[in-house]
Amino acid sequence: MSTREASQVDEPIIESLDQLVEPMRLGEKPKSDWRIGTEHEKFVYHTSDHRAPSYGEDKGIRDILLSLREFGWEPVLENGHVIAMRGSDGTVSLEPAGQLELSGAPLENLHETCAETGRHLEQVKAIGKRCGVGYLGLGMWPDKTREELPVMPKGRYDIMLRHMPRVGDLGLDMMLRTCTIQVNLDYSSEADMVKKFRVGLALQPLATALFANSPFTEGKPNGYLSYRSHIWSDTDPHRTGMLPFVFEDSFGYERWAQYMLDVPMYFVFRDGNYIDAAGLSFRDFLDGNLSVLPGERPTASDWWDHLSTAFPEVRLKSFLEMRGADGGPWSRICALPAFWVGLLYDQGALDGAWDLVKDWSMEERESLRGQVPRTALDTQLPGGTGTLQDLGREVLKIAHAGLAARGRLNAIGDNEGGYLETLDEIVATGKVPAQRLLDAYHGQWNGDVTKVYRYSF
| CATH number assigned to the domain comprising residue 169 | 3.30.590.20
What is the spatial distance between Cα 364 and Cα 5, in angstroms, rounded to a whole number?
Answer: 42
180 found inside a domain = yes
What is the spatial distance between Cα 205 and Cα 224, in angstroms, rounded to a whole number?
Answer: 14
Enter the pTM of the model: 0.97
271 found inside a domain = no
With residues binned 3-state (H G I as helix, E B as strand, rest as coil), the percentages for the chain, rounded to 5, are 50, 15, 35
289 found inside a domain = no
What is the spatial distance between Cα 1 and Cα 172, in angstroms, rounded to a whole number?
Answer: 15
Counted domains in the chain: 1
Q: Which of 108, 13, 120, 143 is nearest to 64 (CA)?
A: 120
377 found inside a domain = yes
Per-residue pLDDT of the chain (457 residues; tens, 9 = 90+): 556 555 545 789 999 999 999 999 999 999 999 999 999 999 999 999 999 999 999 999 999 999 999 999 999 999 999 999 999 999 999 999 999 999 999 999 999 999 999 999 999 999 999 999 999 999 999 999 999 999 999 999 999 999 999 999 999 999 999 999 999 999 999 999 999 999 999 999 999 999 999 999 999 999 999 999 999 999 999 999 999 999 999 999 999 999 999 999 999 999 999 999 999 999 999 999 999 999 999 999 999 999 999 999 999 999 999 999 999 999 999 999 999 999 999 999 999 999 999 999 999 999 999 999 999 999 999 998 999 999 999 999 999 999 999 999 999 999 999 999 999 999 999 999 999 999 999 999 999 999 999 988 8
351 found inside a domain = yes
What is the spatial distance between Cα 95 and Cα 65, in angstroms, rounded to a whole number?
Answer: 12
Report the pLDDT value the prediction gives residue 456, as an integer from 0 to 100: 85
250 found inside a domain = yes
Report the pLDDT value the prediction gives residue 8, as an integer from 0 to 100: 45
Alpha-carbon distances of 189 from 26, 28, 341, rounded to whole Å: 10, 5, 17
What is the spatial distance between Cα 136 and Cα 43, in angstroms, rounded to a whole number?
Answer: 5
Beta carbons of 285 and 302 less than 8 angstroms apart: yes
- Range of the structural domain that residue 85 is part of: 17-263+310-447
What is the spatial distance between Cα 367 and Cα 307, in angstroms, rounded to a whole number?
Answer: 27
368 found inside a domain = yes
67 found inside a domain = yes
